[in-house]
Amino acid sequence: MSVKVVNTAWQIDNNVIDFPVSFSSAIRSNIFEQLHLNSYFDLHLHKLMIFGSCPHTNIYNFDDTIFISYAIIIVFLPSNYIGGNYRFIDQNLEPIYTSIFNQHELNNLKTFIIVVPTDCEHEIEPIETGFKVLLIYHLVAKSK
C-alpha cells in the first residue's frame, strides 16, 4: 500500500515568468515607495510561489540560490484564501528571532510587502481554502 503525497506548494522560477511591463513597473514602484528605497538599490525577481490548501504548517527556503543580496522582499499578491499566516525564522540571531505576519482574510485582496533577512526559514501555517500567492525578490545594489 503506497501513501499518496499531495503537493500543496508550487514555485515558478523567474526565467519562465513573463509579466506585462505595466505589472512589473507597478510592483517595483510600490516596493520602492513603501520601503523608501533610493536609486542605489535594484530588485531581482527570484520566483513566484503558490500555496494551496494544506492541513499542516510547512517550512520553506525561499532563497535557494547562491546570490548576494541585502534582503528578501516578499510581495503577498491579492488572492482569496483563509489561513496561511506567514512567519520567518532567522537562526543567525541570538536568541532565535521570529516574526509573524498575520494577514487578515478581509485584507487578502490588497498587496502587502515585507522585508526579511536572507538565509532564513519561511513558515506558512495551514491554509483552509484558496491559494496564497507570493512574489519573491532579492534586494541588491544597482550595477554601476
pLDDT band at 35 (very low <50, low <70, confident <90, very high): confident
Number of domains into which the chain is organized? 1
Whether residue 15 is contained in a domain is answered as yes
Q: Which residues contact 57 (CB under 8 A, 6 or more apart)?
A: 123, 124, 125, 126
pLDDT band at 136 (very low <50, low <70, confident <90, very high): very high
Model pLDDT for residues 78-123, shown as the tens digit of each residue: 988 888 888 888 776 655 555 666 665 667 788 888 888 888 888 8
What is this structure's pTM?
Answer: 0.82
The answer to whether the beta carbons of residues 10 and 50 sit under 8 Å apart is yes
**What is the distance between the alpha carbons of residues 139 and 71, in angstroms, rounded to a whole number?**
5
Say whether pLDDT at 7 is over 70.
Answer: no
**What is the distance between the alpha carbons of residues 28 and 53, in angstroms, rounded to a whole number?**
29
Domain of residue 75 covers: 9-141
pLDDT score recorded for residue 121: 84
Whether residue 1 is contained in a domain is answered as no
pLDDT score recorded for residue 50: 93
CATH code: domain of residue 108: 2.60.120.620
Closest CA to 49 of 81, 21, 71, 20: 81
pLDDT score recorded for residue 111: 85
